[in-house]
Structure formats: structure tokens, C-alpha cells
Amino acid sequence: MIVHALAALLQTQVPGLPEHRVANIFKPLASPAQSEYEIAVFVIAITTVIFVVVGGLIVFTIVRFRRRPSDDTRQEPPQVYGSNQIEVAWTVIPILIVFVLIGVTARITAGVQNASPPASTVKVTVIGHQWWWEVVYPDFGLTTANEIHVPASPDGKTATYLTLRSMDVIHSFWVPQLSGKTDLIPNRDNFLWIDPKEAGIYLGNCAEYCGTQHANMLLRVIAHPPGDFEKWMAEQQKPAEQNPQMTEAKAMFESLSCINCHTVKGTPAVGKFGPDLTHLMSRETIGAGVLTNTAENLRNWINDPQVAKPGCYMPSMKLTDQELGQVVSYLESLK
């Protein structure tokens, strides 16, 4: 057990990549987020100036024209009904400001939406499910889940081109340091490309309310340093390891209804309803980010997923202790 835990612990450390846990939109690390950051700063600057000027005026008025105890209450102040010049002034100036804002918005909007990605791109299709992410690499014939591995792009020459779809309801892809949101909508394809400047793990969330476990539909984008992505890909494309010591546990797993919902490549398990488990142990988390992928967590998850993620669509399989042990040890062999 301890060995397992240690191994699992080590495993989560293996990528050795820095984790960006605080997803601050003002620390952008990819092109779309960068453009959004620039316009954000610009707009905040303008609105701050407006706030200071107008707010200052209001506060000044409140303080300056408050009634003093010495004032004669029967004496009304001069009755001023308005002034057309002033009216025009404070109509025209905001209009001018708004036009500047519209111009900048138009440029950046078109810039982000219509920019074509760098020539060297990895294509990924991300499919939203209630409450996990299916990740497909069509050019590599690979399907995984929840953690999106992409090449980092320190020189800005490689990008990942995402096609966003949904199997059920609307979800939204949001990894703040890489890009703003784009929804995953059933019956419709949306697109987005990202080029993480630094290798690392970027956290994000599903950002469109999608039902009970919307809160735990977390996103992880793992940007590999140059060269590593290909290594990762090569590992993933292998079928599940055939560990001869595992035949009994494997048979146990395959006799359970897990295989109706999950796929383990190269075995009879070909279900499509839940995440692909072929290389489960290469993932850092389970259940779309609710738990770290440790032996103990995995065991608890399979024992009853409803504890960690109440309402999720994997039922508690009510396994006996022995079955549970075997299934877990089998899953742990899926490197």
C-alpha cells in the first residue's frame, strides 16, 4: 500500500512542470490571453480615469454643497433648469470615448478571432460531457480524457488548434492564462487556438453552468517543453500494457460492467460513456480534477464515486473488497 502511494506520489511529480494554480488573467501566457490582457489594461485605464473624474465630481458636489447649520432653511438656492452647452458637452465627450473603445474592440476582436495559427499545429478535439472532458487527437488516433497535453511554444511557432464540441449540454472552455472562454455547444463546432509560452500545468474550469457537478468540471492543460510532447504522444499511442501478473485482475475488470462505459484500448472494454482509461495512470487527477490520482483516491473513487463527486454519472458499483482490490490493481497497471 505504502509503496503504491509512494509510487503514485512520485508519478504525479514526474512531469516536473510548474503548476499555475492561480489563474490570473493579468498573467497571460499565450497569444489570445495576451491580446485580451492588452485590451483589458487599456479599458481599465480608461474606465479608471472616468471613475476618478466623475466620482471625484460627485464627491466634490456632495461635500461642497451640503447644507450647513448656518444656512437659512427658508432661502432656496438659485433655481437652475439646465444648460444646453453643458448637455451637449457631456453627450459628445462620452460618444468620442465610446468610439475609441469601439475601434479598439473591433481590432482586437477580429485579431483574436480571425488570426490563423502558426503553421505547425497540433489538432485536438475537445468534447464536453457532463462533467468531464473527452480529448481526441484525430491525427494520432488517440483519445484521452480531462488533461489536455499540448506542446509549449516558447518561440510562438507551434500552436494547438482546438475544435470544441459537446455531447450533451453547453460547457465552456476556460483556461484564463491561455485564452478567454469559448463555449462547447452541442450540434455546433467552435474553434480556438492556443500557444502556451511556457511549459507548465495550466488550470481552468468549465465556465458554463452544466448541471449538478459543474463546479468539479476542472480543466488542466499540460504544456510540454519542446520535444517532450512527442514522447508523451508515443507513450500514449501504445495499447494498454499487458502485464502477465495482472491476468486475473484484468479478467475481473473485464467481467464487470465497467467495460460498458469505459475503454481500455486493446481489450474488450470499449465503452464510450465515461473517460478512456487506457493510460489512466499517466493522469495526475481523476474525476476531471476532483481528486489527485493516488492509489487511495482511486480506490475510494471506484468504491463510490458519489462521495467525491456527488451526482456524477458514474454509479457506485458496489464491489466487494476483493473485487475492488483487483480492479484497482489492474487500473494501476494502466501506465
Partner 1 sequence: MASIDYPLEHPKIHPREFSFSETLYAWVATVDHKRLGLMYIVSALIFLVIAGIMASVMRIQLAVPNNHFVDPDTFNRLFTMHGTTMVFLVGMPIVAGLSNYLVPLMIGARDMAFPRLNAFGFWIFLFGGLLLYYSYIGGSGLSGAGSAPDVGWFAYAPLTEKAFSRGASSDFWALGVMVSGFGSIASAINVIATTISLRCPGMTLSRMPVFVWVMLVDAWLILVALPPLSAAQIMLLLDRSLGANFFNTQAGGSAVLWQHFFWIFGHPEVYILIFPAFGTLSEIIPIFSRKPIFGRPAMVGAVVAIGFISLGVWAHHMFAVGMTSWSNTFFAASSMLVGVPTGIKIFNWTATMYGGKLRFATPMLFCCGFLLQFLVAGLTGIMLAVAPFDWQLHDSYFVVAHFHFTLIGGLVFGVFAGLYYWFPKATGRMLSEKLGKWHFWLFCIGFNMTFIPLHFAGMLGMPRRIYTYAAGRGWESWNMIASIGVIFQAAGILFFVWNVIQSLRFGERAGDDPWDAWTLEWATTSPPPEYNFEKLPVVRSSRPLWDLKHPQDPDWKFE
Binding residues among 181-200 for partner 1 as defined by CB under 8 A = 181-183, 185-188, 190-191
According to the binding rule CB under 8 A, does residue 317 interact with partner 1?
no
According to the binding rule CB under 6 A, does residue 275 interact with ligand HEC?
yes
Task: Select the residue interacting with ligand HEC from 260, 306, 307, 310 (CB under 6 A).
Answer: 260
Q: Return phi, psi of residue 245, to 5°.
A: -70, -10
- If residue 147 lies in a helix (H) or strand (E), which one and from where to where? strand 147-151
The CB-of-295 to ligand HEC minimum distance in angstroms stands at: 12
Q: Determine contact, residues 299/290, Cβ cutoff 8 Å.
A: no
Q: Which three cell numbers stand for residue 105?
A: 474592440
The CB-of-217 to ligand CUA minimum distance in angstroms stands at: 4
Q: Which of residues 211-240 bind ligand CUA (CB under 6 A)?
A: 214, 217
Strand order in the sheet with 132-137: 142-145, 132-137, 120-129, 158-166, 190-194
The CB-of-125 to ligand CUA minimum distance in angstroms stands at: 16
The CB-of-132 to ligand CUA minimum distance in angstroms stands at: 9
The CB-of-120 to partner 1 minimum distance in angstroms stands at: 24
Contacted by 97, from ligand HEC, ligand HEA, ligand CUA, none: CB < 5 to 8 Å by type:
ligand HEA
According to the binding rule CB under 6 A, does residue 283 interact with ligand HEC?
yes
Task: Pick the closer one to ligand CUA by CB: 131 or 301.
Answer: 131
Task: Select the residue interacting with partner 1 from 124, 126, 206, 240 (CB under 8 A).
Answer: 206
Quick note: the x/- pattern for partner 1 over 41-80, rule CB under 8 A, is --xx--x--xx--xx-xxx-xx--xxx---x----xxxxx
CA dist 231 → 10, 238, 278, 287 (Å): 19, 11, 17, 25
DSSP annotation string for 218-276: EEEEEEEPTTHHHHHHHHHHSPPP--GGGHHHHHHHHHSTHHHH-B-TTSS-B--SS--
According to the binding rule CB under 6 A, does residue 309 interact with ligand CUA?
no
Quick note: the x/- pattern for ligand HEA over 77-96, rule CB under 6 A, is -----------------x--
Question: In 10 A of CB 166, how many CB atoms?
Answer: 24
Residues that bind ligand CUA (CB under 6 A): 128, 131, 171, 206, 208-210, 214, 217
> Interface with ligand HEC by CB under 6 A: which residues?
131-132, 145-146, 213, 256-258, 260-262, 273-275, 277, 280, 283, 286-288, 302, 309, 312-315, 317, 327, 331
